[in-house]
Amino acid sequence: MRLALRLALTFGLLAAASSALVGVAVRYRLVATETERFREDVRGICERIKGEVRRQADADRTLITGFCEGNELVEHVGLAIDNGEIDERRLSFSARVHTERKAFGMDELLVAAEKGDIVGASPTTLLGVAPAEVDALIRADASTFSLRLPPVPAIVTRCTKASPNGRLVGMVAARHVDPTMDRIARTLGVTVVPSWPRTTSADAAADPPSKAPAPKTKVKGAAVAASAASTPAATPSSSSGAVASVAGGAERATCQIEDAHGASLPFEIVKSTRELEANLAEVDRAIGVLAIVAAIVAFLVAVVLARSIGRPLSVLAQEAGKVAAGEARPLQVRGSGEVRELGLAFDRMITDLAVTRRRLAAASRVAAWREVARRVAHEVKNPLAPIRAAVETLRRLRAREDPRFDEYFDEATRTVLDEVHRISNIVTEFTRFARLPPPRPQDMDVEDVARHVVQTHRAAAGDRHLSHVTQRRAPAIRADRDQVIQVLTNLVQNALDAVKDVPGGAVTLTTDTDGRYVSFSVADNGAGIAPEFAGRLFEPYATTKSSGTGLGLAIAQRIAYEHNGELSYVGASANGRGAVFRLVLPVEGPSAASEAPPPSSDG
């Protein structure tokens, strides 16, 4: 086992053990603290529920009171009673009561006149409430809400308004307690256990409390419907808000809601201890994380200590393996003794190898340029021979005052100009090859470029068939559009030259993609390329044409390389005739090092 690993295991185990011992003590204290805090939260939830119910009741009272004061319904009912039109308009008033109940979000809404004359009620089952009870409901204290006791507990709010003739018209609204408390309980994440049987809004509408055989309970002059006989046995606590643990992982607290008239609704709230258990689990996770972090810190410290001993030898072994590939770097060893001497000797060796490689690279570049210079000299020397011959012939004819001088002068000067133009082309092409600018990539439509090249050479093709074929629709790529067109133009021109004398000559530019790369293939059905010349296609000044410099394919291949792509001769076409050249470019474009720098302000 390595020294670094032994040190890491030792320090890690010590740190984890010490963290575990501290964590056990901390957890014991936190469990007691979190448990007490959880119970305080449960007691606070009881007060919050009562407060939310009171706020809902106050909001309902404000809504109903404002409706009586500013709405037309209660006022129109009073006018209809004064004018003796109440019976004719009772149906329309009843429809409006149903609409207003929906708008208010109430469970029950009743509009009635004094002496219990019900004008409208929603749900309609409230029409069966006794007139005396209705009259008592209207005349009850409207300054605050009141609680209606089981079987259907509700928050009752009311308002009254006198007609011009003094007839009292009132509106009584009830909001069932069960759905209200359920909504609050869902918000607070608890369960409410009432001391009365649960009743849905639909059940209450079908069997209103007024229909139940319940005695009236007077609360400070307010008549409210109650049914003490049907109330189930409950276990309300005399001290509201007491908290007790119950089986099943939950805390239970007893509460009650009261109104200003002394009516009360006892209930219990139950909150799962999952939150407490989650907090304790979080404490356990924190302790575990602390132990892990301590072990990791100890491991890192051990690694640092081990690296000071074993790192020089390890780095030396790694860099020694890179020597053959030329990727080794000086170690810059820190330390003393034999390890430092070994590192210094390795650094000297790496430095010597780097110098040797630079010298070899320089020699290779010199040899390459010598070869290029030799070929350029050869290409320039060929036109010089006819130029020299033409000039010498002119001088001889001039010296002899030969009468053929004027006749030969035009031919000789034309030869000289043609050859000078050829030399100029050679120099121009060589300059382009030597000073080819880096690519300036931009988003480029592959299909558009292919169509552009084909359309540009359509006229030059003459009776030869030139077409573009798409295999798979290529995405937009990043490339230098002008340089790509330059490469495709060279390939298409070469292909057209190859089928110039071929009956039914055809050239096809095909585009394809595999998602990461796009390819341009130029195929012709000409005579093809001789096998002995295929290996020299991309060498400078290598050509089989009587005209041209032989730099076109060399420049094209260099453009492909600088785009991180490849230009290659594939071979003969599928029918065994002609030649196929393929340009492959990556979709993401050339690397940043290959791209041209932005133009400076001075050009």
Instruction: Say if residue 351 is in the same domain as residue 429.
Output: yes
The answer to whether the beta carbons of residues 172 and 160 sit under 8 Å apart is no
Measured between alpha carbons, how far is residue 337 from residues 341, 351, 483 in Å? 7, 22, 59
294 vs 80, higher pLDDT: 80
pLDDT attached to residue 7: 63
Instruction: Say if residue 429 is in the same domain as residue 461.
Output: no
Domain membership of residue 214 (yes or no) is no
pLDDT band at 445 (very low <50, low <70, confident <90, very high): very high
Query: In this predicted model, what pLDDT tens digit does every residue of 276-287 receive, in sequence order?
Result: 777 778 877 877
Q: What are phi and psi of 355, to 5 degrees?
A: -60, -45
With b for 16 or more beta-carbon neighbours within 10 A and e for fewer, the 527-560 pattern comes to ebbeeeeeeebbbbbebeeeebbbbbbbbbbbbb
Instruction: Say if residue 55 is in the same domain as residue 83.
Output: yes
Instruction: Say if residue 376 is in the same domain as residue 447.
Output: no
Domain membership of residue 312 (yes or no) is no
pLDDT band at 450 (very low <50, low <70, confident <90, very high): very high
Instruction: Say if residue 481 is in the same domain as residue 552.
Output: yes
pLDDT attached to residue 518: 93
pLDDT band at 369 (very low <50, low <70, confident <90, very high): low
Query: In this predicted model, what pLDDT tens digit does every residue of 212-267 receive, in sequence order?
Result: 333 333 333 333 333 322 333 333 333 344 444 444 577 788 888 888 888 888 98
Identity of the highest mean pLDDT range in 147-156, 235-244, 337-346, 566-575: 147-156
pLDDT attached to residue 274: 77
Domain membership of residue 297 (yes or no) is no
Instruction: Say if residue 15 is in the same domain as residue 142.
Output: yes
Domain membership of residue 475 (yes or no) is yes
Cα-based torsion angle of the residue sequence 11, 14, 20, 21 in order, rounded to the nearest 10 degrees: -150
Instruction: Say if residue 105 is in the same domain as residue 172.
Output: yes
Which of 276, 310, 330 is a domain's end point? 276
CATH number of the domain at 179, please: 3.30.450.20
Nearest to 527 by CA among 490, 500, 567: 500
Instruction: Say if residue 74 is in the same domain as residue 196.
Output: yes
pLDDT band at 298 (very low <50, low <70, confident <90, very high): confident
pLDDT attached to residue 572: 82
Domain membership of residue 559 (yes or no) is yes
Q: For the chain, what is the domain count?
A: 3
Instruction: Say if residue 421 is in the same domain as residue 466.
Output: no
Rounded Cα gap, residues 521 and 491, in angstroms: 9
Average pLDDT on 56-76 reads 83
Instruction: Say if residue 455 is in the same domain as residue 556.
Output: yes
Report CA torsion sign: 225, 227, 228, 232. negative
pTM summary value: 0.40
Nearest to 566 by CA among 576, 575, 551, 556: 556
Domain membership of residue 293 (yes or no) is no
pLDDT attached to residue 173: 92
CATH number of the domain at 588, please: 3.30.565.10
Which of 406, 434, 462 is a domain's end point? 434
Instruction: Say if residue 470 is in the same domain as residue 429.
Output: no
Which of 390, 417, 434 is a domain's end point? 434
> Alpha helix locations (H) across 322-440?
338-399, 405-434
Rounded Cα gap, residues 54 and 546, in angstroms: 105
Instruction: Say if residue 267 is in the same domain as residue 158.
Output: yes
183 vs 313, higher pLDDT: 183
Domain membership of residue 330 (yes or no) is no
Report CA torsion sign: 238, 240, 242, 244. positive
Write out the residue range of the structural domain in which residue 563 sits: 442-594
Rounded Cα gap, residues 38 and 173, in angstroms: 38
Identity of the highest mean pLDDT range in 217-226, 287-296, 498-507, 517-526: 517-526
Nearest to 491 by CA among 465, 447, 454, 455: 454
Domain membership of residue 321 (yes or no) is no
Q: Is the pLDDT of residue 509 over 90?
A: yes
Structure tokens at 295: 């072990």
Q: What is the DSSP string of 476-487?
A: PEEE-HHHHHHH
CATH number of the domain at 411, please: 1.10.287
With b for 16 or more beta-carbon neighbours within 10 A and e for fewer, the 23-59 pattern comes to beeeeeebeeebbeebbebbbebbeebbebbbebbee
